[in-house]
Amino acid sequence: MHLRLWHRLFLAFAVLSVAIIAGFVVWQQHSFRQGFSTYLNEVTLQRLQSTAERLGEAYAERGGSWDFLRGDAHAFDAYVDSFHLRHKAPIDELSPGPGVTQGELGMPPEPPSSNELRPPPGGPPPRGGASSRVLLVDAAGVVVVGDARIADAQDLLREVIRSGDTEVGSLLMRKIPPRAFGGSDLAFALAQRRAAIVAGSVALLVALGFAFALARWLLAPVRALASGMHALTAGDYARRIAAGGSAELGALARDFNRLAQTLEAHRDARRRWGADIAHELRTPLSVLRGEIAALQDGVRAPTAAAFDSLAVEGERLSGLIEDLYQLALADAGALEYRFELLDLAEVVRDAVQLHQRACADAGLALELSVPPDTLAVRGDARRLGQLLDNLIVNARRYTDAPGRIRIALARAQESAHLVVEDTPPGVPAESLPLLFDRLYRIDSSRARHSGGAGLGLAICRAIVEAHGGTIRSAASPLGGLSIFVDLPQATETLA
């Protein structure tokens, strides 16, 4: 079964929540056992302290000898009652009420005085008595009473017995390990475990509910993006997605909207491009067909002037087709370039010299300013010559006579800076960014009369970008249009 993205995200959150909560419960139980064991050992040690005090007093009363307890488990149990070692309340928390004896409270009886009857020595130690769990040794470490194996244990509770300021013996008892609970202690530990499991289960349910809501909320923008992508693939470029916030998904939604806007603009441009091309091709073809029909019908005599007119329209149609072909090659990255180290100043001088006569015939003065030394760039001399030709022809077509066309080449920091500017008429400010678009003309009728189709500057931009440069337009201080071209200088030097 194929899982959707929000299903996988929810499962990831769920697995992570289960792992975290299970790990927390395990750690909590381990920590509880360790802490509870430490607590029980501390309570036991406190009770051993009170027992050690009583034994110290009895030791002094018996003449400074352990003979009254040596090997006598019954007598030892009279001093160390098992009640104190079952992890109940400390002895000083219990006091007998009126008419209640200490034995009824589970407290040890008062230590027997010298005139009281001593428990009979010998015989088996009482089952479960203190002597089976507590070991009494004298100051030299010799066992007095109790299970001698206790002394071999690794973890021991030790309480020193003093008579006055002198150490006369010790009480030894095994520490309670974390898992060796019994009786009420075990019941308490199990209750804590059940409480931890219940709390973990409730936390897990809350986490799963939160993970479900979070997965749905986080993936709502993703679902909107997926729907938008389906719309784009179906050709609906007008689809937009609400982009809120500054997170990654919001940025992705804004990028989607820009993509949709760009695709919509490209679709509209392609439609206009097709319509403009058809219109541009139809015009010279219509003229050719009309003039040919006039010649065929005898309306117009087949004179040299008539054939010259046909040739002009044919050249115009051929030039338009060639420009379209050049742009198509540039778009496909198939426009041929042969890059080599060359002097840009020489390329500019050659192009200006070719257009001197045509500009003079049009009543325009062509001025040139280039640096006296070489200006090395890496480029294609033929394409750069085509760039200069298009710029000069564009300026000549749209400059009123008498006028001027000024071309200046200078050395910038790391680039060669070329400026082509002319005298009026100028270009409206709103049209300046559109001059390099294909088939764009400020005045369609004037451009068509002068032979321009709005492709020359588009080809210029393609050539400049292929050389790694930039091209832009601005109002000229001479009153017309300025075209600025920046090409990167070559790191090598010409020989």
| Domain segments of the chain as ranges | 1-114+122-236, 248-331, 340-488
* CATH entry 3.30.565.10 includes domain 340-488: yes
Q: How confident is the model at residue 98 (pLDDT cuts 50, 70, 90)?
A: very low
- With 90 as the cut, is the pLDDT of residue 473 above it? yes
The tokens of 202 are what?
């409730």
Q: Which of 78, 186, 264, 241 is nearest to 68 (CA)?
A: 78
Give the pLDDT of residue 179. 61
Contacts of 214 (CB under 8 A, 6+ apart): 13
3-state secondary structure at position 14: helix
Can you tell me the distance from the alpha carbon of 73 to that of 92, in angstroms, rounded to the nearest whole number?
Answer: 25
Average of per-residue pLDDT across 283-297: 81
Q: What is the pTM of this model?
A: 0.46
- With 90 as the cut, is the pLDDT of residue 470 above it? yes
3-state secondary structure at position 231: helix
Structure confidence by residue, pLDDT tens digits, 117-129: 344 444 444 555 6
The CATH architecture assigned to 248-331 reads: Orthogonal Bundle (1.10)
3-state secondary structure at position 329: helix
Contacts of 153 (CB under 8 A, 6+ apart): 174, 175
The tokens of 318 are what?
């051929």
* Two domains, one topology: 248-331 and 340-488: no
Q: Which of 15, 22, 135 is nearest to 71 (CA)?
A: 135
Amino acid identity, residue 10? F
- With 80 as the cut, is the pLDDT of residue 420 above it? yes
Structure confidence by residue, pLDDT tens digits, 358-395: 999 999 999 999 998 889 999 999 889 989 998 998 89
Average of per-residue pLDDT across 171-200: 75
Structure confidence by residue, pLDDT tens digits, 227-239: 888 888 888 878 8
Cα 5 vs. chain centroid, distance in angstroms?
18
Cα 161 vs. chain centroid, distance in angstroms?
67
The tokens of 56 are what?
């110290």
Who wins on pLDDT, 423 or 6? 423
